[in-house]
Amino acid sequence: MSQRAALQDLDAAIHDAFTGAGFAAVGTYLRKGGDQLTETVDPVRLYVDRATQQMGEFGQSVGQKDAISILLADVPAPAKGAVITFDGESVTLEAMESRDESRERWVVSHV
């Protein structure tokens, strides 16, 4: 088994457990094609992080932002401008913060 497959299996198992406990979400991913939202991928597994803060030593600003982590097994290439709807709210992907073999973390704005 490759490292990517192992991480995706592990993240899927963790997400299943966290969803059952109310610490993870399942939503709908809408791709943006040109000026339109064009295709639905349903479901997409994700984690929601509200009002996160980033601090640093060298002039980084400190501020709150909302972010989500998307399991790449559901959406292999999340894209800026896509809309994710979950638990009755919608967010737009604004900027990717990090990525590994299994997840991408995006800063989001509320629709």
Burial class (CB in 10 A: 0-12, 13-18, 19+), 12: middle
The CATH number assigned to the domain holding 43 equals 2.40.10
Look up the pTM and report it.
0.80
Structurally, the chain folds into a number of domains equal to: 1
Measured over the CA atoms of residue 91, residue 83, residue 79 and residue 12, the dihedral's sign is: positive
* Spatial separation of the C-alpha atoms in residues 79 and 31, rounded to whole Å: 7
Q: How does residue 107 score in pLDDT terms, banded at 50, 70 and 90? A: very high
Span 71-92, pLDDT tens digits: 999 999 999 999 999 999 999 9
Range of the domain at 52: 3-110
Q: What is the rounded CA–CA span in Å between residue 79 and residue 1?
A: 28
